[in-house]
Amino acid sequence: MTTISHAIALRGVTKRFGAITAVDRLDLEVPAGICLGLLGNNGAGKSTTMRLLTAQAIADAGTVEVLGHPLPREAKAARARCGVVPQRDNLDEELTATQQLAVFARLYRVPRRERRAAVARALELVELSDRAHTRIDELSGGMRRRLLIARGLVHRPELVLLDEPTVGLDPQVRQDLWSLVARLRDEGTTVVMSTHYIEEAEELADDVAIMARGRVIDRGTPRALIARHAGAQVRELSGDPTELAAVEARARALGLPTRRRGPQVAVLRAEGLDGQLGEGRTRLPALEDVFVSVTGEEVT
């Protein structure tokens, strides 16, 4: 098999739905073997981008390549090498976990003699071996989500696409799935994960692409993004609207970005400025500060 430098390459991609431009001249390259987090609020273009990568949507302009296959012309060959975990649960309710995975092992053309082992491995990977013969309609929400991921992994794909993999799950189940994604990444599988959970991107992604209005507006490692936009220190000050406006004015005069949240303003890149902005507390910056700074939007 030919070695490729990029698992995904989108160049100048635009996708419109009527008067709405969901993806706008998007350029995105993903090196093989990393976990990329597509981070953005609902409507940023993340899900449409994922649909473009699976040929469920066809670009109106630009080019899309997945594992070296141009889409949509070679979509079937690309899908055979990819694992897709949709945002919506579309499991077959009347099947057992094993039966569901066996169906997809066959669809993905796993050789017959290897299917039983492939199903067992996928169940073990998501810690559902003890539920192998449980009907899907008897599984909890977290178990169903894990089974969705197992279904996308049963054929050992080179690339896994996760569309909002932990949306609606409780914190413990989310942590379990984080561990699974980290394991895939450590095994060398390329992972592309769309999410609007800041902590998810910060915890799992080697690289984060921040999306807004159908484009990637900045990209880098979480640490690099934080250093570039938020610096080494954030200063938080409280007060009434007049006092906060005065703090923002002082920060602007110093060339520093700010973010307002209720009765509080946070001044980014505030290292070495104790006393110049007023009384407040100092904390370390986070990726959420970066997101608000570059998009102008709060996380929703």
At 112, which CATH number? 3.40.50.300
Say if 292 falls within a structural domain: no
pLDDT the model gives residue 1: 45
pLDDT digits (tens, 9 = 90+) for 136-161: 999 998 899 899 999 999 999 999 99
Answer yes or no: do 101 and 154 share one domain. Answer: yes
**105/118 Cα distance (integer angstroms):** 7
Say if 92 falls within a structural domain: yes
**275/272 Cα distance (integer angstroms):** 9
Answer yes or no: do 148 and 190 share one domain. Answer: yes
Domain C-terminal end among 188, 220, 252: 220
278 is in which domain, residue-wise?
231-284
Answer yes or no: do 270 and 208 share one domain. Answer: no
Once rounded to an integer, what is the mean pLDDT over residues 197-214? 93
Say if 196 falls within a structural domain: yes
Answer yes or no: do 76 and 207 share one domain. Answer: yes
Once rounded to an integer, what is the mean pLDDT over residues 214-218? 96
Residue 237's identity, in one-letter code, is L
Domain C-terminal end among 190, 220, 250: 220
**217/38 Cα distance (integer angstroms):** 11
Q: Structure pTM?
A: 0.88
Say if 291 falls within a structural domain: no
DSSP, res 78: H
Answer yes or no: do 243 and 271 share one domain. Answer: yes
Say if 133 falls within a structural domain: yes
pLDDT digits (tens, 9 = 90+) for 95-113: 999 999 999 999 999 999 9
DSSP, res 300: -
Cα–Cα nearest to 228, from 133, 163, 293, 297: 293
Answer yes or no: do 270 and 246 share one domain. Answer: yes
Q: Is the pLDDT of residue 41 over 70?
A: yes
Answer yes or no: do 54 and 159 share one domain. Answer: yes
Answer yes or no: do 41 and 186 share one domain. Answer: yes
Say if 16 falls within a structural domain: no
pLDDT the model gives residue 232: 93
Q: Is the pLDDT of residue 3 over 60?
A: no
pLDDT the model gives residue 299: 67
CATH of the domain at 261: 3.30.70
| DSSP string computed for 159-194 | EEEEESTTTT--HHHHHHHHHHHHHHHHTT-EEEEE
Answer yes or no: do 209 and 235 share one domain. Answer: no
Answer yes or no: do 89 and 208 share one domain. Answer: yes
pLDDT the model gives residue 278: 76
Q: Give me the number of domains the chain comprises.
A: 2
Say if 275 falls within a structural domain: yes
Answer yes or no: do 80 and 172 share one domain. Answer: yes
Q: How confident is the model at residue 21 (pLDDT cuts 50, 70, 90)?
A: very high
φ, ψ of residue 236 in degrees (nearest 5): -110, 130
Answer yes or no: do 165 and 213 share one domain. Answer: yes
Say if 101 falls within a structural domain: yes
Once rounded to an integer, what is the mean pLDDT over residues 243-269? 90
